[in-house]
Structure 1
Amino acid sequence: MMLRPRLHDLYIGRTVLLTVLATWAVLLGLDVVLALSGEFEELGKGSYSIGHAIAWVAYTVPRRAYTLFPMAAVIGSLMGLGQLAATSELTALRALGLSRRRLALSVAIALSLLTALMVVSGETVGPWGQARADLLRNSARANTDLTMARYSGLWAREGDTFLNAQSGEERLSATGGSELVLNQVRLYRLGSDGQLAEVTYAETARHDGQGWSLHQVRRDLLGERSASREVIDQQAWDSQLDPTALAAGLARPRNLSAAELRSSIEYRKRNGLDARDYEDNYWSRWFYPINVLALCLAAVPFAFGSLRSGGMGKRLFLGILFALGFWLLQMFFGRMAGALRFDYRIAYALPPIVMLAISGFIFRRKVG
C-alpha cells in the first residue's frame, strides 16, 4: 500500500521525465552534429558522398541515444528536482510528510521506464542500425562488394571468388605491426560456366601487412562428374582483398547484441581465443539498467537541502562530478578485470555498490 503510486509520485515523475528528455535531446543533437561534421573529411573517398554521411549518422542515432542516456538521466534528474526545489515544491512535499527516500523512489520509478526502453533498443535497433551504418560507409569508401549478414558473418567478393568469414579481429603481429585474422573462412569459386568449381575451408586467414595466408586448409574441387579433396596445413593466398576494408566491415563487440556477444564468447573459448573484450561488453549490457538507476540515485542527494547552502548550480556541478566519478570508477574496475583476469561481474557490481554506499552516507546527513 505504501508503494502504490500517488499524485505526488506522478507529478515528480512527469517533471523528471520532461527534463531528462530535454537534456537527452540536447546531448544527442550535439553528438549528431559533431558526428556529421566529422564525416566531411571522408567525403570523396571512393563513392562516399554527403548523402552517405547523412544516412550513416541517421543509422547510428539509436546507438548514440543508448550511450548518452545515462548522462542525460543524471543531469535531467538533478535539473528536474532542482526546478522543484527552486519553487519550494520539494519543501512543500516534505512538509506533507514525504521522506527523501520516497521522493527518490518516485524518480527511480520514472527513470526505470526510459531505462527499460533503452535496454530493448540496445538489443535490437541499436546493433542493427550500427551494422547498417558501418556497411554503408565502408562499401562506399572502398568501392567493394562487402556485406555483413547478422547470422552468417562477413561476406566479400573478388572476381569469381566469394569469401565468407564467421568472425575476425585485428591483432598485434610478432614483428610489432598489426595483422588481420579472419576465423572460419570459406571461399567459394565459380567456374567460367557459372557453376561452383571449388570450395575452400580455412580455420583462419591472416594478412600480416605483406599478403594473405590460409591455415588448416581443406579444399574440395568439384568437376562435372567428380569431386576431390586436399588438406593443407598452410598456404599463401594470392588475393587483392583490402584488409582495411574487411576489418572495418567486421562487427565490433560494442555493436553486438547480448545474444551475439554470448555466442562469440562461447566460440572463442572453444577455440582458445581471447574473449575478454566480448565478456566486457556482454556484462556491461546486463549491468546497464543497474548502473543507470544507481547513478541517478547516487546523485539525488545533491538536489536536496537548503537553497542557501549553495544553490542549484553548485548541486548540479557536484552531481555531474559525482556521475563522472562513477564512470571513471567503472572504467577502472573494468580495465583491472581485463588486466588481472578476474570476473567481469565483480568489476561491474563494485562501482554501483561503492557509489550507493557513499551516496547513502551523504543522504543521511542531508537536512531540510
Structure 2
Amino acid sequence: MLKILEIYIGKMILNVTLIILTILISLSAIVKFIDQIRKVGQGEYSVGGAIFYVFLTIPRDVSIFFPMAMLLGVLIGLALLEYHKELMVIQLLGFSVLQIVYAVIKITMLMVLLIMIVNEYISPLCDQKARIYRSYMIYNRSSSPTIFSIQKNGLWIKDSNNFIFIERILGKNLLSGVNIYYIGPTGKLKFIYASMASFFKEDWTLFQVKEIDFREENQVNIKHFQNSTWKTHLTPNKLHLLALGPDSLSFVDLYKYTQYLKKIGQYSNYYEFHMWKKILYPISIIVMILTTLNFLSRYQYLFRSISTRIFIGFSFGMLFYLLEHIIGPLMLLKNISPLLGALTTSILFIIINLCIYYRNFLHHHF
C-alpha cells in the first residue's frame, strides 16, 4: 500500500513538473527565436536555420529551468493533493509527513539523475552543434561545416609567457589570424603574426609568418617565414573548450581543462567553480526544496492559501538562484576556494532549515 501511495505522489509531482518545464522552455524558445530572426539573411542563415538553432538549445534550457520547475512541481503537486483532500486521506492511511517528504525526495532524485545525464552528454553536444551550425551558415557556407566564428572581437588566451589572440577558428585543427605576444624574462617583447595555423600530431605549423623582435635595445628585427613550428600547450581540444565557455561543457571537459590550466600555472578557479556546481547540482535542488517545504509546513497557519504557498515557494527558488549567481562569483573575486563558493548557498539554506527546526523545538518545549 505504501509503495502505491509513493508512486501516486511521485506521479502527481512528475506530471506537474513536466508541464511547468514545458511552459518555461517554450517561452524561452520563443524569445530565442525572436532574437535569432535579427540574424536571418546574414549569409545563408534562414528562418528554418533559426528554428533548428533554437531546437538544439533546448537541452541546455532543460537544465537551466529544471530547478525552478521541480520546486514549483512539488509545491503545486502537493497543493493539488491537499485541495482534493487526497493528502488527508493518504495520512489517514498511515502515511506520515516524513514518508510524504521521502516520496518527494525519491521522485526529485530520479529526475535530477536524468537531468544530470542530459547535462553531461546531451546538452554540451547540442550546444556546440548549435553554435557551429549558426556560424557556419552565417560566415562561410561554402566551406567545411566545422567552421565557426568565436566572437566579433576574437579570442584572447594566455599560455605560459605567451599572450595569444586568435581571430577565427576555421576547423578543429585550423586557425586564421594568429597573433602571439611573447614577453621574455627580461621584459623584452617578441611579436609573431601568422595568417594561418594548422595542427598536426603534437605541434602547430604557422604559415605566412611575420616575426617582430623588440629584444635588441633601440632596434627592431623583422623576419618573414613561409612556415614555422609553434610549440605550445594549447591543443585543438583545449582551444575548443575555451571558445565554448564553461556553461557549454560537460563535467569531464571542465575537469580536464581545469587540470590543464593548473599545469601551465594559469587561473583555474572560474572553471573549477563551474565544475563543482555541476557536481553539487543534486544537493542544491534537494536543499532548496526541503527548505521551502520545511518553511511552509512550520508556518502553514500563516500561509493557508495555496496561491500564497506557491508564491512563497517561488520566492525561495528565486532567492536560491540569485544567491548562487552572486555569492559564488564574489567569492572567486576574493580568491576563495571554488568548492566553498559552489557550496555556500546550500550551506546558507541548511542553516535556515536548522533555525526553523530550532525555533519549532523551543516553541514546543517552553
What do the CA deviations read for 1:203-232 (whole angstroms, capped 9, x no partner)? Answer: x7459xxx9836xx9999xxxxxxxxx997
Change (3 A) 1:38 1:156: closer
Counterpart check, 1:213 vs 2:193: yes
Instruction: Assess if the C-alpha contact under 8 Å between 1:126 and 1:255 holds in 2.
Output: yes
Q: Which residue of 2 aligns with 1:310?
A: 304
Question: Residues 105-116 of structure 1 correspond to what in structure 2 (within 5 A)?
Answer: 105-116=102-113
Instruction: Assess if the C-alpha contact under 8 Å between 1:23 and 1:76 holds in 2.
Output: yes
Instruction: Assess if the C-alpha contact under 8 Å between 2:148 and 2:168 holds in 1.
Output: no
**What 5-or-longer segments of structure 2 have no aligned partner?**
159-163, 182-190, 201-208, 214-222, 227-238
* Superposition deviation, residue 143 in structure 1: 2.1
* CA distance in structure 2 between the partners assigned to 1:249 and 1:36 by the alignment: 26
Aligned-residue CA RMSD (Å): 4.2
Instruction: Assess if the C-alpha contact under 8 Å between 1:258 and 1:285 holds in 2.
Output: yes
Match for residue 60 of structure 2 among 44, 58, 63:
63
Counterpart check, 1:140 vs 2:120: no
Counterpart check, 1:341 vs 2:335: yes
* Superposition deviation, residue 337 in structure 1: 2.5
Question: Residues 263-302 of structure 1 correspond to what in structure 2 (within 5 A)?
Answer: 263-301=256-294
Q: Which residue of 2 aligns with 1:258?
A: 251
- Look up the SS of the partner of 1:250 in the other structure: helix
The alignment's TM-score, normalised by the length of structure 2, stands at 0.72
* Superposition deviation, residue 308 in structure 1: 7.7
More moved, 329-338 vs 70-79? 329-338
Q: Which residue of 1 aligns with 2:47?
A: 50
Change (3 A) 1:98 1:42: same
Change (3 A) 1:236 1:272: farther
Question: Residues 162-173 of structure 1 correspond to what in structure 2 (within 5 A)?
Answer: 169-170=155-156
Change (3 A) 1:156 1:51: closer
Paired residue type of 2:113: A
Match for residue 4 of structure 2 among 4, 7, 27:
7
* CA distance in structure 1 between the partners assigned to 2:28 and 2:172 by the alignment: 39
**What 5-or-longer segments of structure 1 have no aligned partner?**
149-154, 158-167, 173-177, 189-199, 221-229, 239-245
Paired residue type of 2:91: R
* Superposition deviation, residue 274 in structure 1: 2.6
Match for residue 99 of structure 1 among 74, 96, 99:
96
More moved, 14-23 vs 92-101? 92-101
Instruction: Assess if the C-alpha contact under 8 Å between 2:192 and 2:210 holds in 1.
Output: no
Residue identity over aligned pairs, in percent, reads 22
More moved, 302-311 vs 134-143? 302-311
* CA distance in structure 2 between the partners assigned to 1:83 and 1:232 by the alignment: 71
The alignment's TM-score, normalised by the length of structure 1, stands at 0.71
Paired residue type of 1:64: D
Q: Which residue of 1 aligns with 2:316?
A: 322
Change (3 A) 1:266 1:249: closer
* Superposition deviation, residue 182 in structure 1: 8.6
* Superposition deviation, residue 121 in structure 1: 0.8
Higher relative contact order (CA 8 A, sep 6+): 1
- Look up the SS of the partner of 1:42 in the other structure: coil
* CA distance in structure 2 between the partners assigned to 1:135 and 1:62 by the alignment: 16
* CA distance in structure 2 between the partners assigned to 1:360 and 1:187 by the alignment: 54
Q: Which residue of 2 aligns with 1:353?
A: 347
Change (3 A) 1:95 1:52: same
* CA distance in structure 2 between the partners assigned to 1:237 and 1:146 by the alignment: 27
* CA distance in structure 1 between the partners assigned to 2:36 and 2:198 by the alignment: 42
